[in-house]
Amino acid sequence: MSLPPDGEAAPTGDLGWGAVAPVGLYLHIPFCVSHCPYCDFVVVAGREARGPANRIASFVRALEQELDLRADALDRHWGPPGTAARPLLDTVYLGGGTPSLLPTNSIARLLALVRSRFGVADGAEVTLEVNPGADERGDAGAIRAAGVTRLSIGAQSLDPKELRTLGRRHSPDDVAETVRAARASGLASVSLDLLYDIPGATLESWAATLDTALALVPDHLSLYALTLDDPDAEGITGPGGDHLPVSAGARRWRDQARRGQDDDRAAAMYELADRRLAAAGFAWYEISNWARPGHRSRHNLAYWEGRAWEAAGPGAHAFDGRTRRWNAARLDGYIAALTPSDGSAPRLPPGLQEPVTASGREAESAILALRTSMGLPPSALDRPALGPTLTWALEAGLLEPTRDDRLVLTLAGRLLSNEVFVRLV
Amino acid sequence: MTIPQARLRNFSIIAHIDHGKSTLADRLLELTHAIDPRQMTSQVLDSMDLEREKGITIKARAVRLEHTANDGLVYGLNLIDTPGHVDFAYEVSHSLQACEGAILVVDAAQGIEAQTLANVHLALREGLTIIPVLNKIDLPSAQPDVVMDELENALAIPREEVLLVSAKEGTGVPALLQAIVDRIPPPKGDPKAPLQALVFDSHYDQYKGVVVYIRLAAGTLHDHDRVRLMASGAEAELIEMGYFRPALVPVPLLTAGEVGYVATGLKNVREAQVGDTITSADAPAGAPLPGYQEAKSLVFAGIYPVSGEDYPLLRDAIEKLHLNDASFTFEPESSVALGFGFRCGFLGLLHMEIVQERLEREFSLDLIASAPSVEYEVLRINGGAPIRVDNPSKLPSIGEIEEIREPWVQLSVVTPSSYIGALMELSTNRRGSFVGLEYLDPTRVLMKFELPLAELIVDYYDQLKTRTAGYASMDYEEIGYRAANLVRLDVLVAGEPVDALSMIVHRDNATKLGRTLVGRLRQLIPRQMFEVPIQAAIGSNVIARETVRAMSKNVLAKCYGGDITRKRKLLEKQKEGKRRMKRVGSVEIPQEAFLAMLRTDES
Ligand SMILES: Nc1nc2c(ncn2[C@@H]2O[C@H](COP(=O)(O)OP(=O)(O)OP(=O)(O)O)[C@@H](O)[C@H]2O)c(=O)[nH]1
Ligand code: SF4
Ligand SMILES: [Mg+2]
């Protein structure tokens, strides 16, 4: 199975019903130098991430073990990689946390293991998330040599004051330096993550951050509204949950920061970005993502197109076309299961799974498709579960037909997309 | 075991809210081994979820205990735990009617409060023997001597009669049990006379039909007897009968003076209403018992299903709940904004909140209640008898009105004397007048005011608590109608009048209230996809206006592999929130908006 090139219609909404072998692989690397107060990702920071007591090596051993067990299961089920039932991987994504904190030889070994056990297609997209700080961005040349083709850089802002507000350790110059090093090493694709609606930010500071970012000539930009959730209240931080409890400090920070947020300002920032980016040659292709031609994230597109992917690492989620499965977030349980101290056989880490029902699947794939510039085919209007909402959204100006005959969210529709989605779930 | 009438004791436990009635009941249940220790929880009689959540008793509960007294004989005790909140005074008076005695519980640290006085007066009116108990004597702040002075001064209760108890620790409870046996007279009533049993409560059971709770005034009842409900005329062969222990435990026989339940098998809930008399179908009594005075509703509101198609379910739910709470009234009504629903009358705001919550929980309904109102009397220009208006939108047009009268209450407030000034001011602000003041002890007073009930239901109680650091307590009773210069304040949302938001207010306050109301509505109505103007108007005259700006952003920024399940759940939660809102025209209005005027945020 190969992915269509940018701009070509992808099948959406009615992929076949049944489990399939993965075309992507996500690896979750949970270490960060420090834990940013707004961040809900599965992260371990501080002593466990750096210094004499760090747990990186034991984590990497456990991750290798999990990859082996997952590959064994795929082998049993679908046969060896490279057959019709078991395609080679089209994408690999090392996310975090801060994967660039891993020693380069660990990255190389992990990717070698992935190639031998899962099979990676020629021309595959291999992304690594990096943080820009001088002591955490790693060596771009060695990263590239390990097989990485794409860097996703957690810039967050290019305004020193906002970076401080966010509790980030790096400076705007660090971001520039990371991009420069990536270019120098010949990495094929470079993406920047930025946050808007940061407390204290203004439309002007946001415009300046965008200009500075564009001046660095990235290939891809992800712009996220700063989102301050409460995973504890969502009930996903229990022992088997895929998130970790929020610390008291982070909770206080969020309560305070929420007061500095403003939906109207956020909407204005989004609209401004959409205009500037379009003028700079970036096409919008998902609610929070813009890319220059040929640089969309194929790995992320696979999520939105409902394809199957495998995953490993604490809190990581996988999907086989029928069931969503995830590992529990806690590192201790993860390491203990995969590398038992009593010498017993390694076991898959604790976790949960949830089958996607047929009706859930229909809503979910419509929502994911609508998040993207691919949208839905007009035939979706005839589906009883979707038609009324789509008609309403067309009338409300949230959705529009495109020249190539797809139904796609308008700019207003993207900003109010939950109003559409909530009518679909 | 059948216990002779001379060894029966029927009593209620009465007190101000939170003085420890239910906790005392726990100890009495324990000492008489009425409950398996493994099933014991605190306030075990507060079995309704809502009671446990709110930590208060809402419904009176009867329990039959058996106790071996000092004389070595077994006595049958029927205990009724009653609620303390002023809204449920009606439950208390019902309970007292089934008793010969009352245990008056007074918190030894708090002293006499407003409902202590009110409940004692109810008990005296029924001619009951009162056993005064000072509770919570384990507390370091307990002042039994001071409180005994208060009892002596305010209620003429001699200190020699007072028992000292800690319901929490159990001290003094055995002595109280003996006092119950010694002081409370047994019930009267001839077991051989024709059966007369008063229905004081009931519930609906899917299998056993209507289960009625009765107190036998005369006669004897055997299981499988054929009975007649004298008011409705319905007849039934009993499926089961028994005692509350506190679970329903079948017995073959109930006799005069006893309290128990009978399962009638009746499926039509209207055939067995609270207050009716049960008699034998074969040898009926000549006349029914006097029954109950109907509870007087003070607060009225419309209750509507959030989605119109649930109306039949709501009707069924209201009828069934009414069996278990006969103190609210209901009749069908329709609202332009809210569709078909019921106008319900309640004993107070807490009662309203509880009825709505019970309907929602026990019958899985999503409901909206309109802004609450009192009942007005309107005299029309063209004469005729005054009409009663409990729904502001039904007020005749201004041109037709000669006079509007509103209900007034006399308010009794017990407070430390340092807050006298603050309470005077509060009541004057609410169009009230001061009636008098009486010292209960050197530091605490009983103050009396008269004020319009409408002013009381807004947020008077919250204000009272706020201004006295929580120390004051209050009780009130209706004292009739008085004319006032009243007008109807209407609310328009997105240009459409929302009848369920209308309220009747004093003309002098109309502008200020209109501004407050639209200001609060602006905060309570969530941003919609378009701008929503909110206006307050008297007739066609707009007196206040605010705008809810259009929603600018509702978006989930990130939705990657790990987020899909989580984000779907967040969307489902948003959807649930929307489902709980009432769509009026094109605007989604949450329940809180209809209660906007009840919120306390002014001082
Ligand atoms: N220290 C102490 N606390 C007590 C005692 N009796 C009751 N309490 C506490 O007082 C609070 C109220 O007790 P309840 O038994 O629920 O009071 P109630 O009178 O039944 O209250 P309502 O039914 O709401 O009127 C609870 O927190 C009890 O634990 C006592 O003897 N000593
Ligand atoms: S560096 Fe990134 S992953 Fe780590 S805590 Fe901060 S935001 Fe989260
Ligand atoms: Mg109680």
Asked if B557 and A227 come within 8 Å (Cβ–Cβ), the reply is: yes
Structure tokens that stand for A96 in this block: 């975090």
- Asked if residues B298 and B348 have their Cβ atoms less than 8 Å apart, the reply is yes
* Interface residue B564 vs chain A (CB under 8 A): yes
CB of A285 within 8 Å of any CB in chain B?
A: no
Predicted confidence at residue B376, as pLDDT, reads: 96
B66 Cβ below 6 A of ligand 1: no
Shortest Cα distance from A150 to chain B (angstroms)? 17
Confidence of residue B9 (pLDDT cuts 50, 70, 90): very high
Region(s) of chain A under CATH 3.20.20: 12-355
Helix axes B173-183, B21-31, angle to 10 degrees: 90
Using a CB-CB distance cutoff of 8 angstroms, which residues of chain B are in contact with residue A234? 566, 569-570
Proximal ligand: closest to the CA of A39: 2
Task: State yes or no: pLDDT of B564 exceeds 50.
Answer: yes
Is B601 a residue whose pLDDT tops 60? no
> Which residue from B12, B17, B18, B81 has its CB within 8 A of the most atoms of ligand 1, so it is best to mutate?
B18
Q: Taking CA atoms, what residue in A is nearest to B578?
A: A422
Packing angle of the helix pair A263-279, A203-215 (nearest 10 deg)? 30
Q: Which of B597, B592, B348 is nearest to B453 (CA)?
A: B348
Q: Is B571 on the interface with A (CB under 8 A)?
A: yes
What are φ and ψ of residue A9, in 5° steps? -65, 130
Query: Could you tell me the distance, in angstroms and rounded to a whole number, from the CA of residue B98 to the centre of ligand 3?
Result: 18
Does residue B135's CB lie within 6 angstroms of at least one atom of ligand 1? yes
CB atoms within 10 A of CB B287: 11
Q: Are strands A24-29 and A89-96 parallel, antiparallel or unpaired?
A: parallel
A369 → chain B, closest CA residue: B559
φ and ψ at residue A147, rounded to 5 degrees: 115, 5
B41: exposed, middle or buried (Cβ count in 10 Å: 0-12, 13-18, 19+): exposed
B175 touches chain A (CB under 8 A): no
Amino acid at B235: E
Of residues A225, A318, A425, nearest to B571 (C-beta): A425
- The two three-digit tokens of residue B164, written as one number: 């000292």
- Identity of the residue numbered B19: H
Question: Any idea which ligand is nearest the CA of A157?
Answer: 2
Helix (H, G, I), strand (E, B) or coil at B575: helix
- Mean pLDDT, chain B, rounded, equals 92
Instruction: Name chain B contacts of A311, Cβ cutoff 8 Å.
Output: 561
Looking at the DSSP bridge assignments, the partners of residue A309 are A24, A319
Nearest CA in chain B to A303: B561
Q: Is B372 in the pocket of ligand 1 (CB under 6 A)?
A: no
Question: Ligand 2: distance of its center to the CA of A157 in Å?
Answer: 13
Q: Does the beta carbon of A132 sit less than 6 angstroms from any atom of ligand 2?
A: no
Q: Looking at the complex, does the CB of residue B570 fall below 8 Å from at least one CB of chain A?
A: yes
**Is any atom of ligand 2 closer than 6 Å to the C-beta of A41?**
yes
Average pLDDT (B548-557) is: 93
Ligand 2 proximity of A131 Cβ (cutoff 6 Å): yes
B223 lines ligand 1 (CB under 6 A): no
SS3 content of chain B, % helix, strand, coil (to 5): 30, 35, 35
Give the pLDDT band (50/70/90) at residue B45: confident
Alpha carbons within 13 angstroms on the beta-carbon side of residue B357 total 13
**Residue in A closest to B556 by C-alpha:** A418
- Cα distance from N-terminal residue to C-terminal residue, chain B: 60
Contacts of B569 in chain A (CB under 8 A): 234
SS3 string, chain A, reads: CCCCCCCCCCCCCCCCCCCCCCCEEEEEECEECCCCCCCCCCCEEHHHCCCCCCCHHHHHHHHHHHHHHHHHHHHHHHCCCCCCCCCCEEEEEEEECCHHHCCHHHHHHHHHHHHHHHCEEEEEEEEEEECCCCCCCCCHHHHHHCCCCEEEEEEECCCHHHHHHCCCCCCHHHHHHHHHHHHHHCCCEEEEEEEECCCCCCHHHHHHHHHHHHHCCCCEEEEEECCCCCHHHHCCCCCCCCCCCCCHHHHHHHHHHHHCCCHHHHHHHHHHHHHHHHHCCCEEEECCEEECCCCCCHHHHHHHCCCCEEEECCCCEEECCCEEEEECCCHHHHHHHHCCCCCCCCCCCCEEEEECCHHHHHHHHHHHHHHECCCECHHHHHCCCCHHHHHHHHHCCCEEECCCCCEEECHHHHHCHHHHHCCCC
pLDDT digit string (tens) for B388-417? Answer: 999 999 999 888 999 999 999 999 999 999
DSSP lists the bridge partners of residue B494 as none
Is B564's CB within 8 Å of A421's CB?
no
DSSP 8-class letter at B373: B
Give the angle subtended at the CA of B308 by the CAs of B305 and B314, to the nearest 5°. 45
Q: Which of A236, A324, A422 sits opposite B574 (nearest CB)?
A: A422
Ligand 1 pocket residue status of B82, Cβ below 6 Å: no
Strand order in the sheet with B61-68: B61-68, B74-81, B8-15, B101-107, B129-135, B163-164
Write out the H or E segment, with its range, that includes residue B355.
Answer: helix B349-362
Tell the residue nearest (CA) to atom 8 of ligand 2.
A39
The CB of B164 under 6 Å from ligand 1? The reply is: no
Q: Inform me whether the C-beta atom of residue B576 falls under 8 Å from chain A C-beta atoms.
A: no
Ligand 1 atom with least separation from CA of B26: 15
Residues in a beta bridge with B408: B452, B480
Chain A residue closest in CA terms to B550: A264
CB spacing of B554 vs A419 below 8 angstroms: yes
Looking at ligand 1, which residue's alpha carbon is closest to its atom 6? B20
Both tokens of residue B244? 């509350």
Q: Are strands B196-205 and B220-222 parallel, antiparallel or unpaired?
A: unpaired
Closest CA to B347 of B127, B118, B58, B146: B58
Q: Is the dihedral of CA B102, B108, B112, B114 positive or negative?
A: negative
Interface of B with A in 509-548 (CB under 8 A): 527, 529
Token pair in block for residue A126 = 């291999």
Q: For A342, phi and psi rounded to 5 degrees? A: -90, 10
Residues of chain B contacting A371 with CB distance shorter than 8 Å: 559
Three-state SS for B44? coil
Q: Please give chain A's pLDDT, 425 residues, in tens.
A: 333 333 333 333 333 447 899 999 999 999 999 999 999 999 999 899 988 989 999 999 999 999 999 999 999 999 999 999 999 999 999 999 999 999 999 999 999 999 999 999 999 999 999 999 999 999 999 999 999 999 999 999 999 999 999 999 899 999 999 999 999 999 999 999 999 999 999 999 999 999 999 999 999 999 999 999 999 999 999 888 999 999 999 999 999 999 999 999 999 999 999 999 999 999 999 999 999 999 999 999 999 999 999 999 999 999 999 999 999 999 999 999 999 999 899 999 999 999 888 888 999 999 999 999 999 999 999 999 999 999 999 999 999 999 999 999 999 999 999 999 999 99
Helical axes A56-78 vs A104-118, angle rounded to 10° = 10
Q: Taking residues B26-43, what's their average pLDDT?
A: 88
A228: left (phi over 0), alpha (psi -120 to 50) or beta: beta
Could you give the CA distance from residue B267 to residue B271 in angstroms, rounded to a whole number? 8
Shortest distance between the Cα of B157 and any Cα of chain A, in A, equals 53
The alpha carbon of A200 is separated from its chain's Cα centroid by a whole number of angstroms, namely 26
Does residue B107 register a pLDDT over 80?
Answer: yes
What mean pLDDT do residues B197-220 have?
Answer: 91
With helix as H, strand as E and coil as C, how does B393-437 read?
Answer: HHCCCHHHEEEEEEEEEEEEEEEEHHHHHHHHHHHHHCCCEEEEE
Q: CB-based contact (8 Å) between A303 and chain B?
A: yes
Q: Identify the residue whose C-alpha is closest to ligand 1 atom 30.
A: B136
Does the beta-carbon distance from A414 to B553 stay under 8 Å?
Answer: no
- pTM recorded for the entire structure: 0.76
Which of ligand 1's atoms lies nearest the C-alpha of B167? Answer: 31
Query: Tokens 């996809």 correspond to what residue?
Result: B529
For residue A68, the number of C-alpha atoms closer than 13 Å in the C-beta half-sphere is: 12
- Of A407, A379, A380, A405, the residue nearest A395 (C-alpha): A407
Residue A85, by phi and psi: left (phi above 0), alpha (psi -120 to 50) or beta?
A: alpha
Residues in chain B: 603
Query: CB of B210 within 8 A of CB of B271?
Result: yes
Whether B550 has its CB under 8 Å from any CB of chain A: the answer is no
Q: Which of A67, A147, A156, A161 is nearest to A111 (CA)?
A: A147
Integer Cα distance of A269 and B476 in angstroms: 57
Indicate the SS3 state at residue B234.
coil
Q: How far is CA B589 from CA A11, A296, B523, in A?
A: 39, 41, 11
Which CATH code is given to the segment(s) A12-355? 3.20.20
Calculate how far, in angstroms, residue B199's C-alpha sits from the geometric centre of ligand 1: 29
Q: Is B444 in the pocket of ligand 1 (CB under 6 A)?
A: no
Residue of B nearest to A263 (CA): B553
| Whole-number pLDDT of residue B600 | 56
Residue B134, classed as helix, strand or coil, is strand
Contact check, Cβ <8 Å, B554/A266: no
- Give strand pairing partners of B342: B303, B332
Taking the alpha carbons at both ends of chain A, their separation in whole angstroms is: 29
Q: Confirm whether the ipTM is greater than 0.85.
A: yes
Between vectors from CA B122 to CA B117 and to CA B124, what angle results, nearest 5°? Answer: 95
Q: Tell me which amino acid residue B356 is.
A: Q
Q: Tell whether ligand 2 has an atom less than 6 A from the beta carbon of residue A98.
A: yes
Q: Which residue has the tokens 């304040």?
A: B489
- The answer to whether A126 faces chain B, any CB pair under 8 Å, is no
Residues with CB under 5 A from ligand 3 (ion): B 21-22, 57
Provide the CA B447 distance to its chain's centre, in angstroms.
24
CB contact under 8 A, B551 and A417: no
- Cβ of B48 closer than 6 Å to ligand 1, yes or no, is no
Q: Residue B373: is it exposed, middle or buried by C-beta count within 10 angstroms (0-12/13-18/19+)?
A: buried
- A349 and A341 Cβ atoms separated by less than 8 Å: no
Compute, in angstroms, the gap from residue B17 CA to the centroid of ligand 1.
9
